Amino acid sequence: MKRHPAIRLGKRIAVGILLAVALAAEGAATQLPPEIQLDRFLMQADQAVNDGDARAALAAMERIVALEKDHGIEPALEDRLRCAQAWYTAGEPERALAAVTAYLQSLGREAPRYHEALRLLNDVEAGPGPPADSPAPSGDADPVGPAPMGPAGMEFVWIPPGTFRMGSRSTEAFADEQPVTEVRISRGFWLGKYEVTQTEWEAVMGSNPSSFAGCAHCPVEEVSWNDVQDFIDRVNAHEGREVYRLPTEAEWEYAARAGTTGDRYGALNAIAWHGGTSGRRTHPVGGKAPNAWGLHDVLGNVVEWVADWYGDYGGGSVTDPQGPRSGPGRVIRGGCWVGAARHSRTSNRNVTPPDVRYDFLGFRLARTAH
């Protein structure tokens, strides 16, 4: 059906008005005093660093460089570390090195973020680690047969063998993420595409302990490490062999990174339900973008139990580490719906007693290749 010419004309006028308003708003922003524009771009750079968004970080820093060129205004000395972090996130290590060096040379040991600057300096000079999916001398590089279907229709993805650097010297890292250790995962394995859901738990255990019950495809929570072992015993008994388990801490981080070497495998808000986006609750699994190996919600929704007791990293090079024989609690990994952005990182780790339950704590099931 053809539209009346007056309608078409009215539509063009409306679009023109909207475009004019948008251009006027953009022009108004550029008319702000350069000092205010600088503060604005620094805030954009900070957000890009928090999100792990390289493109946004680069865009913000290029605007700051343009301000310096056009108006002779540059960040204050105490803001040079913020610039260094943004350049590092943007994949510009030489510019990051120049900025963090200027920060330290100008402010010395009295710099307000002295130790954070030193960590960034070490991280920049260390350079990127080896590819996480580099071939291993032995093991199953390719899956044997099709992806298995787990209990209650649970889906799995294949994690190939390889090597990676476990831990972090990032400016966001905590002390227990060091020393960075080169780890070899000698055999491939299957890992849950999603966190175990309330429906899957109830199908095996007959009840649903979750605080956010009533969301069938939300991750199960309020399950202790010991509860998870009961779940695993039941699914293995149904299978007739010992094939299901929790991933080790090293396997978890290796799979979470999926070949990446930074804090996150993508922009935080795109990949994770965290304290800033969750609305203070869990969400159905798979609602955020996966990593390169197809795993969803690795850095958000609920924190995940892994197999290991908590302990310090040893440094150097190791193969298939299993963690210490005992410790203050079991390791939990990833971020969650109530967590800060800093906790939603591939190297972040924490510890919880194995009999404790939280409404932000669940798990992801692993399956051996044979």
Chain segment 249-298, per-residue pLDDT in tens = 999 999 999 999 999 999 999 999 999 999 999 999 999 999 999 999 99
Q: Read off the tokens for 201.
A: 């738990």
The span from the CA of 145 to the CA of 351, in Å, is 36
Helices 54-71 and 34-51, packing angle to 10 deg: 160
**Dist. CA 41–CA 34, nearest whole Å:** 10
Region 320-332: mean pLDDT is 96
How far is CA 121 from each of CA 38, 46, 103, rounded to the nearest angstrom?
24, 18, 11
pLDDT, average across residues 181-204: 96
Domain limits, CATH 1.25.40, in the chain: 32-126
Q: Look up the pTM and report it.
A: 0.67
Pinpoint the residues of the chain covered by CATH 3.90.1580.10.
151-367
Protein fold of 151-367: paralog of FGE (formylglycine-generating enzyme) (3.90.1580)
State the architecture of 32-126 in CATH terms: Alpha Horseshoe (1.25)
244 pLDDT higher than 90: yes
Distance CA 204, CA 230 (A): 10
Q: Whole-angstrom Cα distance, residue 100 to residue 343?
A: 24
Q: State the average pLDDT over residues 135-144.
A: 54
Residue 102 has pLDDT above 50, yes or no: yes
Which pLDDT tens digit goes with each residue over 149-158? 888 889 999 9
Largest CA distance in the chain: 79
| Percent of the chain whose predicted confidence (pLDDT) is above 90 | 58
pLDDT in tens, 59-101: 888 898 988 888 888 888 888 888 988 888 888 888 888 898 9
Q: Read off the tokens for 367.
A: 């399956």
Residue 134 has pLDDT above 60, yes or no: no
Percent of the chain with pLDDT over 70: 86
Across the range 162-179, mean pLDDT stands at: 93
Q: What is the C-alpha separation between 189 and 247, in angstroms, rounded?
A: 9
Which pLDDT belongs to residue 330? 98
SS3 assignment, position 247: coil
Instruction: Kindly tell me the number of DSSP H helices and DSSP E strands found in the chain.
Output: 10, 11
- Quote the mean pLDDT of the chain: 86
Q: What is the pLDDT of residues 5-51, one digit of tens each?
A: 443 434 444 444 444 444 444 455 557 898 899 899 989 988 877 66
Structure tokens at 11: 């539509």
Distance CA 163, CA 152 (A): 32
Helices (H), the chain: 5-30, 34-51, 54-71, 80-89, 93-107, 114-126, 198-205, 225-239, 249-257, 268-271
